[in-house]
């Protein structure tokens, strides 16, 4: 933790000391263009810090006349600050954004520029899902960095073999493994949920498609003879409720900071680990060469009364950078240079080396890390449903997330959680209007 903070502090000093307000003279006497940048980065994640530093250093070497005045944020505080910036009319020149409703209030505010004029001619260089419209009139506000599977059930096959287990076919099979796994003083399913979004994005979203199928899922979004109070959504919530009651999750899951479950999996304290596909980035550098062959990417097993697709995940076009609508001329071009560098061929190749699965079409190198190859195969072959917070208004997550946590603590039933969320959606969600 201390090392990560030290590295990030150095990065901050380097990135902000190079230039402040636009107009500072560079070493050659030419003016340096400085842009404010609101960056999404985990201060406690040494891998993230190191990779971010490499990306900025490479960009600065290519564009010596462009510098960023960077402010960092992560997790819910990032989103809270982004909303505050919008309300105060102080959005950064460049900011990290989501393709759906997670940052929809910002992207639909008129204060984020449509990137289609810059993207034009490059559309076929990206995975089709990355070019999906993000605005009502086809706008693209951020250039997706990758195709994101938000649900992966990482599996330690060596521990399973040691315990005489095989990957469960059904939810009931998984529950039946709990006693044996805990008897070996191991965690059945490593997860964290202190920040609350993890359970929704990384498990409930996939379970919702499993429970209801895509036709119902599409209809419930707009309220077409379907409701989040229906038996389908209640069934998805019941899976989480049962896992919690049977103590299948990491002990103290609702008090664990994001990243602690990753450590539990890497140190082989857990048989299964549920998180997003982006965690393959960490596993590239943090697993040993001996561990990687027996670490496998799966999805949650079939659930009772399932109407959806076996083996499905939840996926969305990835996050990426956008720019403030006020930018014009050389500042707009400078901002685009970063956006294209990051999500285009150069940055994508660098990030692929870190373990990302870029939205930009690149061949998978023959010598790619085993975890990268597994992630690429997973995304290419796994059917996917929606991520709830990408298709429903972000404000509603303020109802759903804490309600799920209360259910896990035994304070609410799945039926109550479903009804509370549907009540909010029916009255407020833009998709229902």
pLDDT at 17 over 50: no
pLDDT at 24: 45
Instruction: Determine the 3-state secondary structure of 86 from DSSP.
Output: helix
pLDDT at 5: 36
pLDDT at 69 over 60: yes
Give residue 258's pLDDT band: very low, low, confident or very high (50, 70, 90): very high
Instruction: Determine the 3-state secondary structure of 229 from DSSP.
Output: coil
- Return the higher-pLDDT residue of 8 and 185: 185
DSSP 132: S
Determine the distance from the C-alpha atom of residue 285 to the mean position of all C-alpha atoms in its chain, rounded to a whole number.
19
pLDDT at 372: 87
Neighbours of 45 (CB within 10 A): 21
Average pLDDT (215-230) is: 96
313-317 β-sheet, strand order: 147-149, 313-317, 384-385
Domains in the chain: ranges and CATH: 2-144+319-358 (3.40.190.10), 150-315+381-432 (3.40.190.10)
Instruction: Determine the 3-state secondary structure of 59 from DSSP.
Output: helix
pLDDT at 364: 82
pLDDT at 210 over 80: yes
List the one residue out of 69, 50, 46 whose CA is nearest residue 58. Answer: 50
pLDDT at 356: 78
Q: Say what the pTM is.
A: 0.78
Give residue 44's pLDDT band: very low, low, confident or very high (50, 70, 90): confident
pLDDT at 30: 67
pLDDT at 21: 32
Q: Name the β-bridge partners of 95.
A: 38, 322
Give residue 11's pLDDT band: very low, low, confident or very high (50, 70, 90): very low
pLDDT at 203: 98
Average pLDDT (244-256) is: 98
- Return the higher-pLDDT residue of 85 and 357: 85
List the one residue out of 347, 345, 320, 12 whose CA is nearest residue 141. Answer: 320
Indicate the average pLDDT of the chain. Answer: 91
Average pLDDT (96-114) is: 93
Average pLDDT (123-152) is: 91
Average pLDDT (372-396) is: 91
Query: Which residue has 């105060």 as its token pair?
Result: 88
94-97 β-sheet, strand order: 66-73, 33-40, 94-97, 320-323, 143-144
- List own/partner pairs for 372-380 with CB under 8 A and 24 or more apart: 372/280, 372/284, 374/280, 374/295, 374/296, 374/297, 375/277, 375/280, 375/297, 377/297, 378/149, 378/152, 378/277, 378/297, 378/313, 379/147, 379/149, 379/277, 379/315
Determine the distance from the C-alpha atom of residue 97 to the mean position of all C-alpha atoms in its chain, rounded to a whole number.
11
pLDDT at 29: 55
Q: Read off the pLDDT of residues 287-300 as tens digits, 9 standing for 90 and up.
A: 999 999 999 999 99
- Return the higher-pLDDT residue of 355 and 284: 284
pLDDT at 270 over 50: yes
Query: Which residue has 């036709």 as its token pair?
Result: 215
Lookup: tokens for 34: 């400085």
pLDDT at 212: 98
pLDDT at 48: 87
pLDDT at 355 over 90: no
Q: Read off the pLDDT of residues 155-169 as tens digits, 9 standing for 90 and up.
A: 999 999 999 999 999
């Amino acid at each position: 933790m201390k090392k990560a903070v030290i590295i990030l502090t150095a990065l901050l000093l380097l990135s902000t000391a190079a230039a402040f307000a636009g107009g500072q003279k560079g070493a050659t006497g030419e003016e340096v263009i400085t842009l404010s940048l609101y960056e999404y980065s985990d201060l406690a994640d040494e891998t993230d810090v190191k990779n971010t530093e490499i990306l900025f250093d490479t960009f600065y070497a290519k564009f010596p006349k462009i510098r960023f005045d960077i402010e960092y944020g992560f997790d819910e505080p990032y989103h809270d600050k982004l909303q505050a910036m919008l309300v105060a009319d102080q959005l950064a020149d460049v900011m990290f954004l989501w393709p759906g409703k997670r940052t929809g209030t910002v992207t639909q505010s008129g204060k984020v520029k449509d990137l289609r004029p810059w993207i034009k001619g490059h559309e076929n260089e990206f995975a089709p899902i990355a070019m999906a419209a993000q605005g009502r009139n086809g706008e693209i506000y951020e250039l997706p960095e990758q195709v994101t599977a938000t649900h992966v059930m990482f599996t330690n096959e060596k521990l399973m073999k040691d315990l005489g287990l095989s990957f469960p076919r059904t939810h009931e099979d998984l529950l039946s493994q709990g006693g044996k796994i805990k008897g070996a003083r191991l965690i059945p399913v490593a997860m964290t949920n202190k920040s609350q979004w993890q359970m929704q994005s990384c498990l409930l979203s996939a379970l919702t498609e499993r429970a209801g199928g895509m036709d119902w899922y599409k209809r419930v979004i707009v309220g077409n003879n379907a409701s989040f109070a229906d038996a389908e959504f209640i069934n998805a919530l019941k899976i989480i409720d049962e896992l919690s009651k049977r103590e299948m999750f990491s002990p103290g899951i609702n008090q664990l900071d994001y990243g602690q479950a990753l450590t539990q999996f890497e140190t082989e304290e857990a048989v299964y680990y549920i998180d997003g596909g982006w965690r393959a980035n960490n596993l590239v550098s943090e697993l040993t060469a001996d561990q990687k062959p027996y670490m496998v990417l799966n999805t949650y097993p079939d659930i009772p009364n399932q109407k959806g697709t076996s083996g499905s995940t939840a996926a969305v076009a990835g996050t990426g950078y956008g720019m403030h609508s006020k930018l014009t001329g050389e500042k707009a071009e400078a901002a685009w240079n970063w956006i294209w560098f990051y999500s285009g061929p150069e940055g994508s190749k660098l990030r692929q080396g870190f373990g990302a699965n870029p939205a930009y079409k690149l061949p998978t190198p023959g010598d790619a890390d085993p975890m990268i190859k597994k992630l690429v195969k997973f995304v290419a072959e796994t059917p996917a449903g929606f991520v709830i917070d990408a298709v429903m208004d972000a404000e509603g997550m303020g109802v759903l997330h804490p309600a799920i946590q209360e259910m896990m603590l035994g304070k609410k039933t799945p039926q109550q959680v479903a009804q509370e969320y549907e009540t909010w959606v029916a009255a407020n969600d833009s998709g229902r209007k």
